Structure 1
Amino acid sequence: METVTLWRPTGPEELKLVEDSGWTAWPPRLPEQPIFYPVTNEEYAVKIARDWNVPSSGSGYVTQFKVRKDFLDQYERQLAGGKAHEEYWIPAEDLDAFNAAIVGKIEVVRTFPET
C-alpha cells in the first residue's frame, strides 16, 4: 500500500483531541471550518505553527502522519499563496473517511515555542 506523508500545524486544543483519539484521528471541524487542510511539506507546517498558532494560543505543534495514496488521489493539491504553500483541502464531511485512510499514528515532530 502506497502512502503519502502529510503534516498538520495545530494548536494545543486540537492536539489534545488528537491525543484523545489515541493519535489516530483528527477531530470534526467546527461550523466555521468547512475544510481540513493538511500540508505537503514540513517547512510550511512549521511556518504556520510558529507564526500563527503560537500568537493565537501560546503554543504550536507540527504533526506528521501518513495517508493512503489511493484515498488522496481524489483530491487536488491546492496552492495557498506560493509553490511552497501546498496543501490538500478535505471537505469537513469527508473527514471521517480521511481519518480511516490514515496509516499508523499521528506524531508530533516539532513544538513551538521550542523547548
Structure 2
Amino acid sequence: MVQNENTTELWRPTGPEELDLVRRSNWTAWPPRLPEQPIFYPVLNEDYAIRIARDWNVPHHGVGYVTRFHVDTAHLQRYPVQQAGGRTILELWVPAEDLPEFNHHIVGPIEVVHEFR
C-alpha cells in the first residue's frame, strides 16, 4: 500500500460488468453492491489484485482487469486491514452501505492498469 500525506493507493481486481459501471461513472465511483455482495473489498497491493484478475476473473468472465485508485487516508482509518490468506493477501472490507461515502473520498480517477484475457 503506497501512502502519501493525504491519500492511500488501493487496487481492485474487476470483471467487465463492474468496469463498465465504473466507466459510466466517468471513472469516479464504484457501483453499488449486489444483494449477494455485502462488502466492497479493495486490496492493498498490486500483486494480489493481479492474481485475482488473472486467476479468477479471466476463467469466470473471459477478461480480468486491475484498477488503481487513491482514497483519502483519514477516511480509510475506519476500515481495519483484513488478512484474507497469506502475509500479502490484504484487503479492506467496506460494508456495502458505506460505499457511497467511500466513493466520495476517492481522489482522482479510477485507472485500469492491467488487462488479462
TM-score by length of 2: 0.95
Describe the SS at the equivalent of 1:31: coil
Aligned equivalents of 1:72 and 1:93: distance in 2?
15
Runs of 4 or more consecutive aligned structure 1 residues displaced over 6 Å after TM superposition: none
Residue identity over aligned pairs, in percent, reads 65
**Runs of 5+ unmatched residues, structure 1:** none
1:73 paired residue among 73, 77, 96: 77
**Runs of 5+ unmatched residues, structure 2:** none
Aligned equivalents of 1:38 and 1:83: distance in 2?
16
Describe the SS at the equivalent of 1:46: helix
Question: Which whole-Å deviations, capped at 9, do the CAs of 1:18-76 have from their partners, x for residues lacking one?
Answer: 00000000000000000000000000000000000000000000000000001001110
What residue in structure 2 maps to residue 49 of structure 1? 53
What residue in structure 1 maps to residue 17 of structure 2? 13
1:25 aligns with 2:8: no
Q: How many residues align?
A: 113
What residue in structure 2 maps to residue 89 of structure 1? 93
TM-superposed CA distance for 1:98, in Å, is: 0.5
Aligned equivalents of 2:101 and 2:82: distance in 1?
19
2:102 paired residue among 89, 98, 102: 98
TM-superposed CA distance for 1:82, in Å, is: 1.1
TM-score by length of 1: 0.97
